[in-house]
Structure 1
Amino acid sequence: MFKRSKKTISMLVSGLLLLAPMVSTPVAAYASSSFASVKTDIAEPGGVINSRIMIEVPQGAMAAGSTATFRMRLPINSDFQRDGAGAIVAGANVSVEIPATYDNTVPNQFVDNTGNMTAPANLTDKVYADGTTTDDGSSTWVKTVKIGQEYEFSVKQNGAGKGIMYINLNKVKIPSGQSGDFKAIFEAQGGSIFSNGEVVVATVGTGTAAVTLDDVKSISSVGGAIDVIRVKEDRPGALSAASDSVKLKLPQGFTWDITNAKANTVWGNLTYTNPGTKDSLSATEDGGRTLKMTVTGKSTSASYINLTGLAVNVDESVAKTGDITVSTNLTPSTLVLGKYGEFGSSVNAFGDAPNRLAGRNDNELGKVVIEEDMAGSLVVGRTIVLTIPENTKWRTYPSIDSANSDAHGLVLGAWTAVGTDGRTIKAQVTTASSGDPAKVVFEKGSVDVAANFSGDLKVDVTGTAGVAGSLVLAKVAAPITATVSASPELKIGVAGQAAGELILTEAKAEAIMGESKALQIHLPLGVDFSSTPKFEVVEGDLVLNADSATTGTDSNDNTKFAKVTIKSTSSVPSKIKVSGIKLTVDRTVPEGNITFKVKGAAVNETSGFTSSTIASIANGKVVTPAPEGAVIHTVFKINETKYTVNGVEKTMDIAPYLENSRTYLPVRYVGEILGINSGNMIWDGANQTATLIKGDKVVQMKMGSKTLLVNGAAITMDVAPQIVQPGRVMLPVGWLLNIFGATGSFDPATQTVTIN
């Protein structure tokens, strides 16, 4: 009995399982049979195949008692296998099998199951090359005849159920010129239940032998064993009979050691010299570089051979480090057998360095990979040392990333601290690797980073194990940057002096921490806030605690600070503006920049470092005031931009001019020679007013108005100030000279104005 497979097309190949689709020509609407190959063979041109074809007819396709006929032909010049005398060998034929049932349950309609006839278990009808036939004695069931080079099959509907039959091609010889698909062609008369079509019954080609290696082993200068070399035919006869059927040639500097080598057959019937012994292989050519196996007889069953116990010798003076690649006469034409190198190791970063923030604890670093060049390069008892930069400290020691490591037996002891600064740790090799070189990836090491650290965080790898390198394992940036709108000049001994607006910009979302942590602006010693500045978020969604801005004194160094507390962190990078900054500078402050320092728990959570400053910026510059009673002699000339101060020539961006017999000078430049710093000369574009501040005097003028305000008191001038390109306030300056204690004169002959 036959149990039918559920697949329409399947092929059982001797030695291999393959799939090959049936290619059919279009079938008439009333044709309902199908052809499929269930055993497709492989062979060389001129070889012999044994294939099997299944034919199905659906239930009810044939009328009761009717007969249907179809023909099959093979490619031209096909024959049956013959012996040395040219006679066809026994068993060479085309046979037909009809099982009693379709699938052990459904009757086969080609068989009478009504009791009128007794169906044998399997009906067989054979046709030989000369056209003679043999059958089971009942031509009522199926009839096969040979007509020329074609075979005609007739079947009769003898019962209910589906119809199934098999055609066996036994010991069919492939034409010597055949290649590719070897097909059986089916034809039937129009209107028949059988369709026209073709079935691939064999694939024909010369075949290949593949050579593979399970593992690439490391080889040192003393030589070493290699893994098993596997040679597999994809079909019978792929390896020809020859003294060098299998040939593998080593590169210069390497020779074969076949002391313990031998060839063994896994399956197939390939014949070769001295199987199972070292004499099955030879390595005498090319100074021992070429390995050969002699095949004495081609296989008729695809074969699989293992070459075991092979090793290589190394000539250090010639051999090149790296892959040991042999050339072969098999597939592929080259094969890497091993890797040659000396004892050593390397260390590298594994993946990209992550971005981290200064002033944070527990910053996770990138991964480190240590790789041996040869197994055993890392010697037992020797150490690997990791050192991180100043202003950082180890928080969590690295652990092994098992998923990306291949230790090959290498074991390192636990990391331990070296010294007391928290920057250096070491581990000792407790077990060396064997077989293959080790690759160990370390991950999840973390560090605390001081507020004032920025840039590449490098880990220096040293130690007695010989592993050395410097790796960037993180890129560190400050959580905020600081900018100012201006950095005005400031005088010692003066209160309420305006500094520039300060902008604090987050490096990324959540860079400024919340939970009511403080953000503080610290001043140098001797400088104090005259009033509490205003803190406000001008970009992003960071939230400050309302009315939390205040000033205070740092108990550690007695510096003054202004602070605000953070209610909640941002989801997008945000900006804080600090405005209304008024400073009092006492007489102990030296000349130079007033440096603001940004600190506080909102931007720095670390401790134990020398600095807690996240950002710093100059916001004001202390200048030495002119000594009391000193005379400044300045000369301006009408319609000229050059002027002199105590004989030193300077240049303005606008020239003085005469209008209605009045001399107009630029207020900005006159203010400078009167000792008013630029930060105390203020222009209000909205109200069109200019304000000058010096000592206890505040003078304000309005464009187009003859009223001059001095400390709030109004003085009426005879002319109004003007604005002239490039935006300078121009005024007959006698009014200002009188107020700020200077004198001036005009010389019509030389068109000069002199101010003392």
Structure 2
Amino acid sequence: MVKSKWLSFVLVFAMLVSVFVPTGMTKAFASGTSYDSVVVPSISDDTTTELGTFMVGIDPFVRDSEAIFELPDTDYEIHKVKIGGVLFDLSGDQATYVSGNNGTVAEDVYTNNGTVAKDVYTGAGNSGIKAFKFKITKTSDNGFKLYLDYDGTKNVSKDMGELKFPIELTEVYVPSGASGDIKLTITGSGSGQLKDGSVVVATIGGGDLTVAAVDTKSFSDDGGNVKIRITESAAGKLKSKDTLKLVLPDGFKWDNISDISLVYGTFAEMYKDASDASGKIAVAVRDVDVKTAVYSNVTNNDTLEIRLNTPSTKGHWYQSTERTAIDITAKIDVDDSTKAKEGDVIAKVRGSYDVTPSEITVGTYGQYDTTISATDSSVVAFSGQYNQEDSSNDINKVSDIQIKESVAGSLVNGRTILLTLPTNARWYKINDDLVGSSTAKGQQVDSDNGVRLTFEGLQGTDNRTAKFVVHRDSTGKNPAKLKIENNYVALEPGVTGDLKVTVGGTAGLSTDSITLAKVVNPVTVTADKTNVKIGVSNQAAGKIDISEYQAGAIYTNHGKNTLDLILPGGVKFTSKPTVKVTSGDLDIDNVNLVSDNSGNDNKILRIEFKRDSTEASTIEVSNIYYDVDRTVGEGDIQVKVGGTALVTVPQDHVYASSYSNPSDEVKTLDYADIYFSGEDYVVKVANATVVTPAPNATNQTAVFTINSTTYTVNGVQNTLDSAPYVKNGRTYLPTRYVAYALGVSSDNVLWDGTKATFILGNRVVQVTPGSTTLTINGATVTMDAPAEIVNGRVMVPFRWIAQAFGAQVQWDATNQTVTMTLQAQ
């Protein structure tokens, strides 16, 4: 015998023609891995018998996974196990192959009964798993290790999808004294896709019979079929004198019994041998056909009765000679739609037997309806960008879209589905195909249960609407579940919020709109703010911090794209600011001042990079000085943050300034209609406020309020991060914000870890927390209360800091405000 064999995984599933999930099914999930009970038999202890079957599901399967499967303790002994129809003997020292398909298997393989199996398990709809193998080793009397792999012939990222396969415990010794549910425990290696979990594989006791619905349907008013499985706990439990009854709820009735089949076991004709004085039971005829032995009938429309027949020969009866399971297929009709309740149709289990469970779900009733939903509405997409093939991130890939029928037939052949994006978005790819390409139109995006969905191109003049068409054939008996995957959008710069797609068409979907993504700017920008005057050159402005939302959000295109800080009219850079990376691994190459489209010098600060970041990075721009001419009005100076590293979607009016060759850029898109007529930046930030009009200079007046985080400068409201407070009769203000309010730039606020330094014109003020001493141009001044640090800010009694800067101060006890006035320079 061979210890273990690598096996291709297209297998014969003769005994699992129909997958089912009975009432009482157990399930354990972990990271896309599930273990689902399929058959949970009722058995006796101190016996060697067949336990249940469970399904292993991995979605998606990749490769290299292993786990140990163990019964509760070492008193259990696993003698034989069948994995995907391949039988192994574990009764010896090692696992040995017994029977099944262990050859090399191509994509199309003929099984022993002549049917074609294209997937690992066609009945469960394995997705994309065409080449697969596994091996099994014995780890103990009660356990084994299963190792999963793929055979290397397929592209893992494209061809590997959902994997499902059954494991059957076909021969197990159950020790004496065992009781209740028998659980199989799965212990994963920690790195693979076979995760920790457990699944019930049998129950000790529980009655004479177990009843389960092994194949149910979702149906509407035309009804549907159900397959009922009846399993004996031991041979001979089914009897001719006892009846099992399945009673449907109001509004439903049994129609007809279309089939009775034997799952496993044997029926025979029994009699008492008259020649034998001991009266032993003899077997007259072996292997009685199940349709001969089993009687089923519908009474009172709502009740299905099942028992064994009685032969015509007097003194004879039918009986199973080994533990037996039978399947009965019957149709359920909707008898009265006013009484029939939508949802699970639950039949009560009645009759003469000790049977479990007491009720089972035999189908799902609903009206014709189809739902559409986003599988993950929390996906993040970037404004101003579209999918970059060579980007390290999957830029602007939005949520997959799932379409589900409530009952088969809800989606009608030829009906359409229209998905319309808002005005700030355009479809770029659907099902990983460029929407403007010749190959996209008419392509199938998904199929399930006889229903296909094709993409038929974009509709309308603005190309925001994607059209899909439903194609249905007669083979689909179960509700279809379709998915539109790998979808990408191009987004207008600076527009953020939920990306909602409007749902239309003739398919009659129940939802008007769905959210495909959360749209954010690729960067967040913050700035300090100073006050500047009209008609004055070389005025200090606040520093600006630009932080990536995630690594690669600033798309440098291998150093070809730039990040631009663009000034408004009437303002220009006096000199080139200092630009540095303060966190992350962005690598700056060059920094230059360039002209705008109108030829105005020093209007744009252009930052060039060597490569994209692999760690989200922050750029600091400091030592910023502005020339402000007399055309600028009072209020904030708003700096636009854009450039081709942030705005990758071409703008129809900015091609000349953003791209060296606009026509080449459109060709790279393969879809020339993707552009927006909006702005060429993603965000604006104010780092200076024009507070004094020229030529009439005015005083600098700041008002602070106790316990408030807002203050005003010449009537313009600003925000501080540490509120003024009163302590020991002294009112403390945050020195940094007092300095800003009186005209000190952020570059002239310094902290060396011990003392704070503030420079205003020719005045240098220094404050040391914990000390009552401050200095003004080196001269020492003793305060009546020490400076201190609160919430990371240096706090000083307001009269002393006002005096240090040469400002007049006024305290309003009623309104709890401090007003400082600095005479115009």
Q: TM-score, normalised by structure 1?
A: 0.56
One-letter amino acid of the structure 2 residue matched with residue 606 of structure 1: V
Q: Is the 8 A contact 1:353 1:365 kept in 2?
A: no
What's 1:422 paired with? 463
One-letter amino acid of the structure 2 residue matched with residue 299 of structure 1: Q
What's 1:358 paired with? 383
Correspondence for 1:288 among 296, 302, 321:
302
What's 1:543 paired with? 587
What's 1:343 paired with? 368
Separation of aligned partners in 2, 1:632 and 1:569: 44
Q: Is the 8 A contact 2:526 2:544 kept in 1?
A: yes
Correspondence for 1:521 among 544, 549, 565:
565
Measured against aligned partners, the alpha-carbon deviations of 1:616-674 in whole angstroms (never above 9, x if no partner) come to 111111123376499999xxxxxxxxxxxx9xxxxx999xxxxxxxxxxxx999999xx
One-letter amino acid of the structure 2 residue matched with residue 586 of structure 1: D
Separation of aligned partners in 1, 2:428 and 2:268: 66
Q: Is the 8 A contact 1:263 1:280 kept in 2?
A: no
Q: Is the 8 A contact 2:243 2:305 kept in 1?
A: no
How many residues are aligned here?
491
Correspondence for 1:595 among 624, 638, 641:
638
What's 1:462 paired with? 504
One-letter amino acid of the structure 2 residue matched with residue 240 of structure 1: K
What's 1:67 paired with? none
Percentage of pairs with the same residue? 32
What's 2:409 paired with? 376
One-letter amino acid of the structure 1 residue matched with residue 486 of structure 2: K
Separation of aligned partners in 1, 2:635 and 2:398: 40
One-letter amino acid of the structure 1 residue matched with residue 626 of structure 2: L
Once the two structures are TM-superposed, the CA of residue 556 in structure 1 deviates from its matched residue by: 6.5
Separation of aligned partners in 2, 1:587 and 1:506: 35
1:496 and 1:281, CA in 2 relative to 1: closer, same or farther beyond 3 A? same
Separation of aligned partners in 1, 2:480 and 2:218: 11
Once the two structures are TM-superposed, the CA of residue 347 in structure 1 deviates from its matched residue by: 1.2
- Secondary structure at the residue paired with 1:421? coil
One-letter amino acid of the structure 1 residue matched with residue 495 of structure 2: F
Once the two structures are TM-superposed, the CA of residue 208 in structure 1 deviates from its matched residue by: 3.1
Q: Is the 8 A contact 1:460 1:471 kept in 2?
A: yes
| 1:614 and 2:682 correspond | yes
| 1:436 and 2:456 correspond | no
Separation of aligned partners in 2, 1:692 and 1:685: 15
What's 2:421 paired with? 388
One-letter amino acid of the structure 1 residue matched with residue 503 of structure 2: V
Q: Is the 8 A contact 1:373 1:437 kept in 2?
A: yes
Separation of aligned partners in 2, 1:385 and 1:213: 38
One-letter amino acid of the structure 2 residue matched with residue 317 of structure 1: T
One-letter amino acid of the structure 1 residue matched with residue 615 of structure 2: V
- Secondary structure at the residue paired with 1:239? coil
One-letter amino acid of the structure 2 residue matched with residue 301 of structure 1: T
Separation of aligned partners in 2, 1:614 and 1:582: 23
Separation of aligned partners in 2, 1:587 and 1:722: 40
Once the two structures are TM-superposed, the CA of residue 703 in structure 1 deviates from its matched residue by: 8.2
- Secondary structure at the residue paired with 1:227? strand
Once the two structures are TM-superposed, the CA of residue 520 in structure 1 deviates from its matched residue by: 0.9
Once the two structures are TM-superposed, the CA of residue 411 in structure 1 deviates from its matched residue by: 2.0
Once the two structures are TM-superposed, the CA of residue 399 in structure 1 deviates from its matched residue by: 6.8
- Secondary structure at the residue paired with 2:340? coil
What's 1:488 paired with? 530
What's 1:583 paired with? 626
- Secondary structure at the residue paired with 2:585? coil
- Secondary structure at the residue paired with 1:335? strand
| 1:624 and 2:638 correspond | no
Measured against aligned partners, the alpha-carbon deviations of 1:360-393 in whole angstroms (never above 9, x if no partner) come to 2122122111111111111223211112233221
1:574 and 1:276, CA in 2 relative to 1: closer, same or farther beyond 3 A? closer
What's 1:568 paired with? 611
Measured against aligned partners, the alpha-carbon deviations of 1:181-207 in whole angstroms (never above 9, x if no partner) come to 9xxxxxxxxxxxxxxxxxxxxxx9997
Once the two structures are TM-superposed, the CA of residue 691 in structure 1 deviates from its matched residue by: 5.3
Separation of aligned partners in 2, 1:669 and 1:459: 45
Separation of aligned partners in 2, 1:238 and 1:205: 13
Q: Is the 8 A contact 1:458 1:472 kept in 2?
A: yes
Separation of aligned partners in 2, 1:572 and 1:523: 29
Separation of aligned partners in 2, 1:754 and 1:499: 19
Q: Is the 8 A contact 2:692 2:698 kept in 1?
A: no
Once the two structures are TM-superposed, the CA of residue 557 in structure 1 deviates from its matched residue by: 9.3
Separation of aligned partners in 1, 2:700 and 2:563: 45
Once the two structures are TM-superposed, the CA of residue 551 in structure 1 deviates from its matched residue by: 1.1
Correspondence for 2:245 among 239, 244, 247:
247
Report matched runs for 1:658-673 at 5 Å.
none
CA RMSD of aligned residues (A): 4.9
| 1:532 and 2:531 correspond | no
1:676 and 1:429, CA in 2 relative to 1: closer, same or farther beyond 3 A? closer
One-letter amino acid of the structure 1 residue matched with residue 592 of structure 2: T
Measured against aligned partners, the alpha-carbon deviations of 1:383-440 in whole angstroms (never above 9, x if no partner) come to 111122332211111379x999762111223231012323211112232673111110
Structure 1 consecutive aligned stretches of length 4 or more whose deviation exceeds 6 Å: 204-207, 402-406, 629-633, 667-672, 683-690, 701-704, 730-734, 753-756
Measured against aligned partners, the alpha-carbon deviations of 1:434-486 in whole angstroms (never above 9, x if no partner) come to 311111011111112233133332333222211124333223332221111x3
1:498 and 1:718, CA in 2 relative to 1: closer, same or farther beyond 3 A? closer
1:604 and 1:373, CA in 2 relative to 1: closer, same or farther beyond 3 A? same
Report matched runs for 1:45-444 at 5 Å.
208-224=208-224, 226-242=225-241, 244-258=242-256, 261=258, 263=260, 267-269=266-268, 280-285=295-300, 288-293=302-307, 295-296=309-310, 297-302=317-322, 304-329=325-350, 330-351=355-376, 353-362=378-387, 363-398=396-431, 407-431=448-472, 434-444=476-486
One-letter amino acid of the structure 2 residue matched with residue 622 of structure 1: V
One-letter amino acid of the structure 1 residue matched with residue 359 of structure 2: T
Q: Is the 8 A contact 1:391 1:449 kept in 2?
A: yes
One-letter amino acid of the structure 2 residue matched with residue 422 of structure 1: N
What's 2:141 paired with? none
Q: Is the 8 A contact 1:245 1:295 kept in 2?
A: no
- Secondary structure at the residue paired with 1:519? strand
Once the two structures are TM-superposed, the CA of residue 501 in structure 1 deviates from its matched residue by: 0.9
Once the two structures are TM-superposed, the CA of residue 581 in structure 1 deviates from its matched residue by: 0.7
One-letter amino acid of the structure 2 residue matched with residue 350 of structure 1: T
Separation of aligned partners in 1, 2:359 and 2:268: 26
Q: Is the 8 A contact 2:211 2:229 kept in 1?
A: yes
Q: TM-score, normalised by structure 2?
A: 0.51
Separation of aligned partners in 2, 1:718 and 1:562: 35
Separation of aligned partners in 2, 1:583 and 1:567: 28
Separation of aligned partners in 2, 1:475 and 1:564: 28
Larger radius of gyration: 1
